[in-house]
Chains A and B, each alone.
Chain A
Amino acid sequence: MMAKLMALLLLGLVRVLTGAQARWLGCPPKAEQRIYFANHQSHADLVMIWAALPQELRHSTRAIAARDYWTKTPFRRWLTSRVFNVVYVSRERTADEDPLEPLVEALERGDSIILFPEGTRGHAGDPQAFKAGLYNLACKFPQVVLVPAWINNVQNVLPKGERVPVPILCSVTFGAPMQLEAGEERRAFLERARQTVMALREL
């Protein structure tokens, strides 16, 4: 109940501040299993892409969030687990655990996921090099559709280190699905994925 109210409140807030416009240019929103991957410049990215999805897809599409940051306080934990229903991953690599395991679990259950393959928030205009996770998941789940997305302008709503968001219009552009080509190498694939995301900026 509280989670639902919070979700409504957040949706309202995001719409007033940013317009939360979704531009489905490459593919329509569809209830198939997908991996959305997008650029990452602000904590608000998570909320933004969540708000841009149609309501029917929202509860079966789970974003990836860093465990150390998003479980630090009880409120953050509640927000991410009950409202957004995220998948936690740990950023520190320990010898005995595979960091992708929670993602694999979520995909095996049939959920779609939202991935920020840069791993951390970028500062510059262009996204940083993508991490290997996207490639590994694409190898493991060839039937899952890979959808690139570009989140525009969000870094201006809430720059790193500021507390009060300002109203600026933002949009999320979803591009045409891409696939892992037969025999494509890891680095080539990741670079191609990065270029696809960046190409959406100009549309």
Chain B
Amino acid sequence: MYFYLKNLAPTQQIGALFVLVFGLLLLASVTSFAFSIHEFQDEARARRRRARLESINGILRSSWLMVVVFWLGWMMGNRVALTLFGLVSFFALREFLTLSPTRRGDHRSLVLCFFVVLPMQYWLVYAGHFDMFAVFIPVFVFLALPVVSALGNTPQHFLERNAKLQWGIMVCIYGMSHVPALLLLRFPGYDHRNAFMVFFLVLVVQVCMVTQHLLGRWLKLRPVAPAISGSFNWPCCWMGVLGASVFGAALAGITPWVPGTAFAFSFIACLAGSLGHFVMKALKRDRGIPSWGTQGRAVTGAGGLLDRVDALCFAAPVFFHSARWYFDL
């Protein structure tokens, strides 16, 4: 598979990938639909099955969304891709901040986050200022936000409020912006195929999350930290990470790496993603909600976008900076 993929012309590789991915997704969607029309005599079993299908359908929907976003971005160039990822950041941050309520004194900081920091970060990506892009939020915004907050003249819960804001920005803007940043890295001997890197990262992390989810459902092992996550346990975590890494190694043909290196990079990204997802669960428990979306009962109307992209938000910076370090870019 590796040599076959590597020897194809870039356009053929793209064609093969789209056929592969859209085909797989279509197959999964059709299967899930076929299961959904299956009838059961036993009402309790039917209800269990419906609940399970519901959660699988959620993952399928987000996979479709991601692949379509990728496809649009690839078709229409870097600028559109960056805008799309910028919108994802925007909506994810909207969800994050809604469920971590801020106070009146934070209004100006919020304006700064949404309308200055977010566009600025994506502009830095677009302009290719990678050194600045990597430190803009952790260094400059880290100071600017609390200054604006302090000028708001509300001392109550100052540290707590600022921590929430900083977290939201780090995860939703900083983390997310590393995904499209891969489009602009100049890997040696890999020109004009950067979209594959984005695709590789998104696909590998998503495969890892789906595998872990399905394994968790199937094996029902004892959770490591039941107060935080009812499903997280080490065997499932490792199996998901390793499975996705093997998948990543098989896809090495579309990356600038040989299978061994592709395996290592997938491994790093998946591990970061799984653990990041686990950490976000802890945040959600702290807020007392099962998911950022809470299907149907959401007072806020949050769509649960953050549930789907949080793993990617943690995997992307780790993946990006490892790749940069590896190629000494």
Contacts and interface: CB of A to CB of B under 8 A. Distances in A.
Given A21-B301, A152-B300, A159-B104, A168 B98 contact: yes
Contacts of B97: 167-168
B90 interface: yes
Contacts of B298: 21, 171
Contacts of A177: none
B104 A152 contact: no
A19 B302 contact: yes
A169 B301 contact: yes
Contacts of A23: 301
B299 A171 contact: yes
A21 B114 CA distance: 21
Interface in B103-158: 104, 107, 110-111, 114-115
Interface in B259-303: 298-303
A115 interface: no
Contacts of B114: 166-167
B95 interface: yes
B198 to A, nearest CB: 25
Nearest to A167: B94
Contacts of B107: 159, 162, 166
A171 B104 contact: no
Which of A20, A153, A173 has the most chain B CB within a 10 Å cutoff? A153
Contact of A171 (B93, B111, B301): B301
Contacts of B302: 19, 169
Residue of B93, B107, B300, B301 with highest tally of chain A CB at under 10 A = B301
Nearest to B300: A169
Nearest to A21: B301
Most chain A beta carbons < 10 A, residue from B107, B114, B302: B107
Given A152-B300, A153-B300, A164-B111, A169 B94 contact: yes
B166 interface: no
Which among B94, B104, B299 has the greatest number of chain A C-beta atoms within 10 A?
B299
Contacts of A203: 299
Q: What's the interface size class on B, roughly? A: 20 to 34
Q: Is the interface of A mostly helix, strand, loop or mixed?
A: loop
B101 A19 contact: no
Q: How large is the interface on A (under 10, 10 to 19, 20 to 34, 35 or more residues)?
A: 10 to 19
Contacts of A170: 300-301
A156 interface: yes
A189 B104 CA distance: 33
Contact of B115 (A164, A168, A169): A164
B102 interface: yes
A191 to B, nearest CB: 24
Nearest to A200: B299
A168 to B, nearest CB: 5
Contacts of B115: 164
B301 A166 contact: no
B300 A171 contact: yes
A156 B101 contact: yes
A101 B90 CA distance: 45
B112 to A, nearest CB: 10
Contacts of B94: 19, 167-169
Contact of B98 (A20, A153, A159): A153
Interface string A133-177: 000000000000000000011001001001010111111010000
Nearest to A18: B301
Interface of A: 18-21, 23, 152-153, 156, 159, 162, 164, 166-171, 173, 203
Q: 5 smallest A-B Cβ distances: which pairs?
A: A21-B301, A169-B300, A169-B98, A166-B110, A19-B301
20 contacts: A18-B301, A19-B300, A19-B301, A19-B302, A21-B301, A23-B301, A152-B299, A153-B300, A156-B104, A159-B104, A159-B107, A164-B111, A166-B111, A167-B90, A167-B94, A168-B97, A168-B110, A169-B98, A171-B298, A171-B299
Given A166-B111, A168-B94, A203-B299, 7 more contacts: A153-B299, A156-B104, A159-B107, A164-B111, A166-B110, A168-B97, A173-B299
